């Protein structure tokens, strides 16, 4: 007998929630799910729990997954929602910080000085990202680390495309300002 081969999940297979289809569709994105959970929760243990919970939720609701839809964006939306729920339960979800308007509006990730700082002291950058308000941190992680498009980020966060762009701009500006402050303090 020949083995059954799946090219793409069909609506019939998705409704059945067959394990093989789920594994081929969703599991390739487990590392991305962990990275997002880790950045949002700031704790490895919480991130591991959230990924496990997210995978269970994804498996249970796999019948609602629409074939042809971006499975990574779908899974990351579930992870993000699980993170938000956990942070809310623990009382750890931060209110949005006020943007420091004195920070120059330059692109962080294209700035050679910033790239050099990142290479020299990645821990410094990691801490600065972790200190950002959650709404900025999540868009930066999804765009810069997971390399998602603005459209995918808007889908994951369930916000308008313009909001993604403004949060990304403000998050980059805030991160740039924090890193500049640390550099200035280090020179003193």
Write the burial class of residue 63 (CB in 10 Å: 0-12 exposed, 13-18 middle, 19+ buried): exposed
pLDDT score, position 181: 83
- pTM value? 0.65
DSSP 82: H
User: What are the pLDDT digits (tens) for 142-169?
Assistant: 998 888 999 999 999 999 999 999 999 9
Whether 90 shows a pLDDT value over 60: the answer reads yes
Parts of the chain belonging to CATH 1.10.1740.10: 11-90
Whether 93 shows a pLDDT value over 90: the answer reads no
Whether 5 shows a pLDDT value over 50: the answer reads no
User: What are the pLDDT digits (tens) for 7-46?
Assistant: 444 445 545 547 888 888 889 999 999 999 999 988 888 8
pLDDT score, position 54: 93
Q: Which fold has domain 11-90?
A: Rna Polymerase Sigma Factor; Chain: A (1.10.1740)
Instruction: Check if the beta carbon of residue 62 is closer than 8 Å to that of residue 68.
Output: no
Which architecture does CATH list for 112-187?
A: Orthogonal Bundle (1.10)
> What number of other Cβ atoms are within 10 A of residue 133's Cβ?
18
Separation CA 56–CA 60 (nearest Å): 6
Parts of the chain belonging to CATH 1.10.10.10: 112-187
Contacts of 31 (CB under 8 A, 6+ apart): none
């Amino acid at each position: 007998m020949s083995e059954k081969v799946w090219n793409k999940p069909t609506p019939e297979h998705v409704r059945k929630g067959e394990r093989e289809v789920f594994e081929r569709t969703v599991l390739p994105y487990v590392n991305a799910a962990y990275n997002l959970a880790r950045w949002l929760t700031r704790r490895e243990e919480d991130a591991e729990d959230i990924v496990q919970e997210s995978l269970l939720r994804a498996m249970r609701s796999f019948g609602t997954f629409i074939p042809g839809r971006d499975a990574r964006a779908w899974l990351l939306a579930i992870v993000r929602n699980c993170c938000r729920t956990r942070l809310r339960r623990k009382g750890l979800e931060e209110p949005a910080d006020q943007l420091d308007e004195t920070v120059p509006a330059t692109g962080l990730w294209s700035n050679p000085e910033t790239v050099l700082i990142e290479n020299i002291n990645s821990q410094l950058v990691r801490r600065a990202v972790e200190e950002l308000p959650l709404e900025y941190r999540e868009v930066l992680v999804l765009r810069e680390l997971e390399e998602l498009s603005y459209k995918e980020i808007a889908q994951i966060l369930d916000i308008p495309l313009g909001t993604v762009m403004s949060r990304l701009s403000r998050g980059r500006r805030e991160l740039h300002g924090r890193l500049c402050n640390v550099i200035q303090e280090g020179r003193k």
